[in-house]
Amino acid sequence: MEIVVIGLFFAGYLAITLEHTLKIDKLIPALGMMASLWAIISLFHLEVFNVNIVMKKLEISHIDEVLLHHLGKTAEIIIFLLGAMTIVEIIDYFNGFFTIKTFIKTKNKIKLLWIFSSLAFVLSAIIDNLTATIVLITILQKIIHDKNSRVWFAALIVIAANAGGAWSPIGDVTTTMLWIGDKVTTMNLISYVFLPSLVCLIIPVFIASLMKPFQGYIKSDDNDDDNFDSKGSIMLYLGLGAIVFVPVFKTLTHLPPYVGMMLSLAIVATFAEIFSNAKINISSVDFESDFHSNYSPVHSSLSKIELPSILFFLGILLSVAALESLGVLFKFADQLNTLIPNTDLVVILFGFGSAVIDNVPLVAASMGMFSETTDNPLWHFIAYSAGTGGSMLIIGSAAGVVAMGMERIDFFWYLKNISWLALVGFLSGSVTFILLRTFIFK
């Protein structure tokens, strides 16, 4: 029966990977796989285990107890993401991200490349790499009107955003998973991964700045038809500050991160309601009133959250939890360590794997495979590898997929022109991490 479970998991995994080919949203196979795996465990009364990390052993438990345990861990991540997504949408409601555009004055392509890459690196560490990519490509479209030039900038934004998301506990779903799962702490994650991520950014951008597409100046008009909200700047700084406050809150209170995120959301939502002169009533909506004119910014922001992504995380995390509970992942880890004794090589292969398949299940699986303690360098290397490795293919990360959709970037164009830059950056950052771990943090 274990073979059936593994086969079902790989079938679902394959369907997720071939999402664009099958034209089926990846949440569907993820949810179906999750429900089927736990149904098989229940129907055939398979033994499930709770992991005792301290003793590094498996303890037989009842299925309800195990499922509730994994649901609680998954809910922590989902609630955290819901809060972060809502804050970002509230900022966008007030057109706060337009503030960033006002700081960009140059028309020199090389300067623009470094500006957008730097913004992507910093913003993705705060509002996550997917959102940062969407924001910056939207701004890019208002500054560079030539599509042939713009796709090059968009592709480098993907590399920069993925690099920026890897060193922050709130910059990528995978780093958030490791952080909430007590695999890494904020300061140690930054200490270990910031410099490798910076190298992963600087080298590709430097090489790109020497290439022909980034030579010369852009042609743009000075007409600005954006609907600028005077409260936008305030909401931008307030929202970003509220998100950055979450790791501080966790450090001070030792409470789970989602508690701090809910507090941050409450503060941002309060100011949003005050600024919009709307009545604070988050718990209900009067659907018989004029929906658009009376809809509060909080309601509007909640309605724009990507629920398919949330359901996908639910499905994939509980699917991986099923394999973990059966002890499958631990057996696989033992076999992998026997086959490839060099853990660094295994983690680097994870990076290449994340370019082909979704990095969320990869990291979820690694959390079940390895039993190293909190802040072991292995976890930091996994955060870097899974976060930046996806840049090697346009479909290898959420940031890449959204850029592909927004700019109609061709898969093979990216493979030919950008993948090698991402590969050089990824390997350079990997070497930097290994050197830091060996000579600085030993």
DSSP states along 372-404: PPTT-HHHHHHHHHHHHHGGGSTTSSHHHHHHH
> By percentage, how much of the chain surpasses pLDDT 90?
41
- How would residue 355 be classed by pLDDT, with cut points 50, 70 and 90? confident
Checking if the pLDDT of 206 tops 90, the result is: yes
Average pLDDT value for residue range 211-224: 77
pLDDT of residue 291: 41
> If residue 60 lies in a helix (H) or strand (E), which one and from where to where?
strand 57-61
Q: Which of 44-58, 61-75, 229-243 has the lowest mean pLDDT?
A: 44-58
Instruction: Specify which of 11-20, 199-208, 301-310 reaches the highest per-range mean pLDDT.
Output: 199-208
Q: What residues contact 341, with CB distance under 8 A and at least 6 apart?
A: none
- How would residue 220 be classed by pLDDT, with cut points 50, 70 and 90? low
More confident residue, 114 or 320: 114
Checking if the pLDDT of 173 tops 60, the result is: yes
- Output the average pLDDT for the chain: 85
Q: Smallest Cα–Cα separation from 405: which of 389, 392, 394?
A: 394
Q: What is the DSSP string of 17-45?
A: HTHHHHT--THHHHHHHHHHHHHHHHHTT
Instruction: Specify which of 3-17, 125-139, 208-222, 422-436 reaches the highest per-range mean pLDDT.
Output: 422-436
Tokens representing 412 are: 């093979």
Q: Which of 17-26, 42-51, 184-193, 291-300 has the lowest mean pLDDT?
A: 291-300
Work out how many domains the chain is built from and give that number: 1
Average pLDDT value for residue range 409-420: 91
Question: Measured at the alpha carbon of residue 313, what is the angle toward residues 307 and 314, in degrees to the nearest 5?
Answer: 90
Range of the domain at 298: 2-440
More confident residue, 384 or 343: 384
Task: Specify the pTM.
Answer: 0.79
Checking if the pLDDT of 436 tops 90, the result is: yes
- How would residue 25 be classed by pLDDT, with cut points 50, 70 and 90? confident
> If residue 201 lies in a helix (H) or strand (E), which one and from where to where?
helix 186-209
Taking phi over 0 as left and psi of -120 to 50 as alpha, with beta for the rest, 357 belongs to beta
